[in-house]
Amino acid sequence: MKYLTAAAATAIDVQLMDPARGGFALSQLMELAGLSVAECAYKLLTGSQRQQQRQQQRQQVLVVCGPGNNGGDGLVAARHLHHFGVDVRVVLPKPAVREPFVSLVVQVAALGIPVAATLPSANEMRSHVGLVVDAVFGFSFAGNVREPYAAILSQLKVVEKEVSILSVDVPSGWHVEQGNVSGAGLEPTALISLTGPKECARFFTGRHFLGGRFVPPQIQRDFGVEIAEYVGAEQSVELFV
Protein backbone atom coordinates (compact mmCIF):
# COMPACT_ATOMS: atom_id res chain seq x y z
CA MET A 1 0.00 0.00 0.00
CA LYS A 2 1.17 3.51 -0.80
CA TYR A 3 1.46 5.81 2.20
CA LEU A 4 1.43 9.57 1.69
CA THR A 5 3.73 12.16 3.20
CA ALA A 6 2.28 15.52 4.26
CA ALA A 7 3.76 17.05 1.09
CA ALA A 8 2.13 14.42 -1.14
CA ALA A 9 -1.25 14.84 0.60
CA THR A 10 -1.03 18.60 0.04
CA ALA A 11 -0.13 18.06 -3.60
CA ILE A 12 -3.19 15.83 -4.08
CA ASP A 13 -5.42 18.56 -2.66
CA VAL A 14 -3.84 21.06 -5.04
CA GLN A 15 -4.55 18.72 -7.95
CA LEU A 16 -8.14 18.17 -6.81
CA MET A 17 -8.74 21.93 -6.72
CA ASP A 18 -6.97 22.59 -10.01
CA PRO A 19 -9.71 23.69 -12.48
CA ALA A 20 -8.05 21.66 -15.24
CA ARG A 21 -7.45 18.51 -13.17
CA GLY A 22 -9.96 17.86 -10.39
CA GLY A 23 -12.20 20.90 -10.69
CA PHE A 24 -13.31 20.83 -7.04
CA ALA A 25 -13.83 23.77 -4.71
CA LEU A 26 -12.64 23.42 -1.10
CA SER A 27 -16.24 23.38 0.14
CA GLN A 28 -17.03 20.49 -2.22
CA LEU A 29 -14.08 18.47 -0.97
CA MET A 30 -15.19 19.04 2.63
CA GLU A 31 -18.71 17.95 1.73
CA LEU A 32 -17.54 14.74 0.10
CA ALA A 33 -14.94 13.96 2.77
CA GLY A 34 -17.48 14.63 5.51
CA LEU A 35 -19.98 12.31 3.84
CA SER A 36 -17.32 9.58 3.78
CA VAL A 37 -16.66 10.12 7.49
CA ALA A 38 -20.36 10.06 8.34
CA GLU A 39 -20.96 6.84 6.41
CA CYS A 40 -17.98 5.20 8.10
CA ALA A 41 -19.13 6.39 11.53
CA TYR A 42 -22.59 5.00 10.85
CA LYS A 43 -21.09 1.61 9.97
CA LEU A 44 -19.12 1.55 13.21
CA LEU A 45 -22.07 2.68 15.31
CA THR A 46 -24.68 0.31 13.96
CA GLY A 47 -22.77 -2.80 13.03
CA SER A 48 -24.41 -5.40 10.84
CA GLN A 49 -27.20 -6.78 13.03
CA ARG A 50 -30.65 -5.17 12.87
CA GLN A 51 -31.03 -5.54 16.64
CA GLN A 52 -27.65 -3.90 17.19
CA GLN A 53 -28.68 -1.08 14.91
CA ARG A 54 -31.84 -0.31 16.88
CA GLN A 55 -29.98 -0.40 20.17
CA GLN A 56 -26.91 1.56 19.17
CA GLN A 57 -28.70 4.28 17.24
CA ARG A 58 -29.96 5.52 20.60
CA GLN A 59 -26.38 6.25 21.58
CA GLN A 60 -24.95 9.63 20.84
CA VAL A 61 -22.17 10.47 18.43
CA LEU A 62 -19.86 13.23 19.62
CA VAL A 63 -18.08 15.05 16.79
CA VAL A 64 -15.06 17.01 18.03
CA CYS A 65 -13.96 19.63 15.50
CA GLY A 66 -10.65 21.45 15.23
CA PRO A 67 -9.84 24.81 13.63
CA GLY A 68 -8.84 23.61 10.15
CA ASN A 69 -10.13 21.58 7.24
CA ASN A 70 -10.32 18.45 9.39
CA GLY A 71 -12.81 20.27 11.58
CA GLY A 72 -14.80 21.26 8.50
CA ASP A 73 -15.02 17.59 7.53
CA GLY A 74 -16.33 16.90 11.03
CA LEU A 75 -19.05 19.56 10.79
CA VAL A 76 -20.23 18.10 7.48
CA ALA A 77 -20.17 14.60 9.00
CA ALA A 78 -22.32 15.78 11.93
CA ARG A 79 -24.95 17.11 9.53
CA HIS A 80 -25.08 13.87 7.54
CA LEU A 81 -25.21 11.73 10.69
CA HIS A 82 -28.21 13.76 11.84
CA HIS A 83 -29.93 13.00 8.53
CA PHE A 84 -29.05 9.32 9.03
CA GLY A 85 -31.16 9.44 12.21
CA VAL A 86 -28.27 9.54 14.69
CA ASP A 87 -28.26 11.65 17.87
CA VAL A 88 -25.30 13.99 17.32
CA ARG A 89 -23.49 16.62 19.36
CA VAL A 90 -20.68 18.84 18.15
CA VAL A 91 -17.77 20.12 20.22
CA LEU A 92 -16.21 23.22 18.66
CA PRO A 93 -13.63 24.64 21.08
CA LYS A 94 -13.11 27.83 19.06
CA PRO A 95 -15.88 29.66 17.16
CA ALA A 96 -15.75 29.64 13.36
CA VAL A 97 -14.60 32.97 11.92
CA ARG A 98 -14.19 32.29 8.18
CA GLU A 99 -15.89 30.49 5.34
CA PRO A 100 -16.81 27.79 4.70
CA PHE A 101 -16.69 27.06 8.44
CA VAL A 102 -19.14 29.80 9.43
CA SER A 103 -21.74 28.42 7.02
CA LEU A 104 -21.09 24.84 8.15
CA VAL A 105 -21.81 25.82 11.76
CA VAL A 106 -25.01 27.60 10.67
CA GLN A 107 -26.10 24.45 8.82
CA VAL A 108 -25.49 22.30 11.89
CA ALA A 109 -27.29 24.70 14.24
CA ALA A 110 -30.25 24.98 11.83
CA LEU A 111 -30.87 21.25 12.35
CA GLY A 112 -30.95 21.67 16.12
CA ILE A 113 -27.64 19.83 16.61
CA PRO A 114 -26.15 21.07 19.91
CA VAL A 115 -22.80 22.84 19.55
CA ALA A 116 -20.65 23.30 22.67
CA ALA A 117 -17.14 24.57 23.30
CA THR A 118 -16.28 21.86 25.83
CA LEU A 119 -16.52 18.09 26.11
CA PRO A 120 -19.06 16.36 28.32
CA SER A 121 -17.67 14.83 31.50
CA ALA A 122 -15.86 11.51 31.31
CA ASN A 123 -18.75 9.77 33.06
CA GLU A 124 -21.27 11.24 30.63
CA MET A 125 -19.21 10.08 27.68
CA ARG A 126 -18.95 6.59 29.14
CA SER A 127 -22.71 6.46 29.70
CA HIS A 128 -24.15 8.12 26.61
CA VAL A 129 -21.59 8.38 23.81
CA GLY A 130 -21.45 5.44 21.42
CA LEU A 131 -18.77 6.96 19.21
CA VAL A 132 -16.47 9.99 19.17
CA VAL A 133 -15.46 11.38 15.78
CA ASP A 134 -12.01 12.91 16.19
CA ALA A 135 -11.89 15.71 13.60
CA VAL A 136 -9.46 17.92 15.52
CA PHE A 137 -6.19 17.84 13.55
CA GLY A 138 -5.39 16.55 10.07
CA PHE A 139 -2.29 16.05 7.94
CA SER A 140 -1.28 19.73 8.08
CA PHE A 141 -0.82 19.63 11.87
CA ALA A 142 2.72 20.16 13.14
CA GLY A 143 4.35 21.16 16.43
CA ASN A 144 2.91 21.02 19.91
CA VAL A 145 -0.80 20.85 20.68
CA ARG A 146 -1.97 24.16 22.10
CA GLU A 147 -4.94 25.03 24.26
CA PRO A 148 -7.84 24.55 24.21
CA TYR A 149 -7.06 21.46 22.14
CA ALA A 150 -4.44 20.04 24.52
CA ALA A 151 -7.08 19.80 27.24
CA ILE A 152 -9.58 18.27 24.78
CA LEU A 153 -7.12 15.52 23.78
CA SER A 154 -6.22 14.87 27.42
CA GLN A 155 -9.90 14.43 28.27
CA LEU A 156 -10.45 12.07 25.35
CA LYS A 157 -7.42 10.00 26.32
CA VAL A 158 -9.04 9.36 29.70
CA VAL A 159 -11.91 7.50 28.00
CA GLU A 160 -10.28 6.21 24.81
CA LYS A 161 -10.19 2.61 26.05
CA GLU A 162 -13.88 2.72 27.01
CA VAL A 163 -15.46 4.84 24.26
CA SER A 164 -14.94 4.07 20.57
CA ILE A 165 -13.12 6.82 18.65
CA LEU A 166 -12.99 7.28 14.88
CA SER A 167 -10.15 9.57 13.82
CA VAL A 168 -10.40 11.51 10.58
CA ASP A 169 -7.33 11.12 8.33
CA VAL A 170 -4.75 11.33 11.16
CA PRO A 171 -5.26 10.53 14.86
CA SER A 172 -5.11 13.89 16.60
CA GLY A 173 -1.78 14.59 18.25
CA TRP A 174 0.13 12.29 15.90
CA HIS A 175 2.98 13.40 13.66
CA VAL A 176 1.66 12.89 10.13
CA GLU A 177 4.67 10.77 9.17
CA GLN A 178 6.17 9.46 12.42
CA GLY A 179 3.04 8.54 14.37
CA ASN A 180 2.33 9.08 18.06
CA VAL A 181 5.89 10.06 18.90
CA SER A 182 4.95 12.17 21.93
CA GLY A 183 2.61 9.57 23.38
CA ALA A 184 0.06 12.34 23.98
CA GLY A 185 -1.88 11.66 20.78
CA LEU A 186 -5.12 9.71 20.69
CA GLU A 187 -5.12 5.94 20.17
CA PRO A 188 -8.43 5.59 18.33
CA THR A 189 -10.48 2.48 17.70
CA ALA A 190 -10.68 3.22 13.99
CA LEU A 191 -9.13 5.52 11.41
CA ILE A 192 -10.59 6.76 8.15
CA SER A 193 -7.89 7.91 5.76
CA LEU A 194 -9.06 10.44 3.18
CA THR A 195 -7.77 10.16 -0.41
CA GLY A 196 -5.01 7.84 0.79
CA PRO A 197 -3.35 6.61 4.01
CA LYS A 198 -0.77 8.97 5.47
CA GLU A 199 2.64 7.71 6.60
CA CYS A 200 1.54 7.61 10.24
CA ALA A 201 -1.03 4.92 9.36
CA ARG A 202 1.88 2.44 9.28
CA PHE A 203 1.86 2.63 13.10
CA PHE A 204 -1.91 2.31 13.49
CA THR A 205 -3.25 -1.09 14.55
CA GLY A 206 -7.03 -0.57 14.76
CA ARG A 207 -9.69 -0.82 12.07
CA HIS A 208 -8.62 1.21 9.05
CA PHE A 209 -10.99 2.63 6.44
CA LEU A 210 -10.43 4.60 3.26
CA GLY A 211 -12.69 7.42 2.10
CA GLY A 212 -12.08 9.13 -1.19
CA ARG A 213 -14.43 7.79 -3.80
CA PHE A 214 -14.48 11.31 -5.20
CA VAL A 215 -10.78 11.28 -6.21
CA PRO A 216 -10.52 10.93 -10.02
CA PRO A 217 -8.72 7.74 -11.11
CA GLN A 218 -5.97 9.64 -12.94
CA ILE A 219 -5.00 11.57 -9.81
CA GLN A 220 -5.02 8.33 -7.83
CA ARG A 221 -2.71 6.74 -10.39
CA ASP A 222 -0.41 9.76 -10.53
CA PHE A 223 0.22 9.52 -6.78
CA GLY A 224 0.12 5.74 -6.53
CA VAL A 225 -2.90 5.87 -4.22
CA GLU A 226 -4.82 2.67 -3.51
CA ILE A 227 -7.80 2.52 -5.86
CA ALA A 228 -10.38 0.91 -3.60
CA GLU A 229 -13.42 -1.05 -4.72
CA TYR A 230 -16.46 0.63 -3.22
CA VAL A 231 -19.71 -1.34 -3.18
CA GLY A 232 -23.05 0.19 -4.11
CA ALA A 233 -23.55 3.58 -2.48
CA GLU A 234 -20.86 3.20 0.20
CA GLN A 235 -18.43 6.07 0.71
CA SER A 236 -15.85 4.20 2.79
CA VAL A 237 -14.21 0.84 2.52
CA GLU A 238 -12.30 -1.11 5.18
CA LEU A 239 -8.67 -1.83 4.39
CA PHE A 240 -7.08 -5.16 5.27
CA VAL A 241 -3.29 -5.12 4.98
Q: Which positions make up the binding site for (6S)-NADPHX?
A: 69-73, 138-144, 149, 169
Residue 100: HSE in the Cβ half-sphere, 13 Å Cα cutoff: 18
- Residues comprising the chain, all counted: 241
Known binding-site residue numbers: 69-73, 134, 138-144, 149, 169, 172
Tell me, what DSSP letter sits at residue 160? T
Per DSSP, helices labelled H in the chain are 6-16, 26-46, 50-56, 69-83, 101-110, 122-128, 149-159, 217-223
Tell me, what DSSP letter sits at residue 119? P
Known binding-site residue numbers for K(+): 70, 134, 172
Local structure of 13: helix, strand or coil: helix
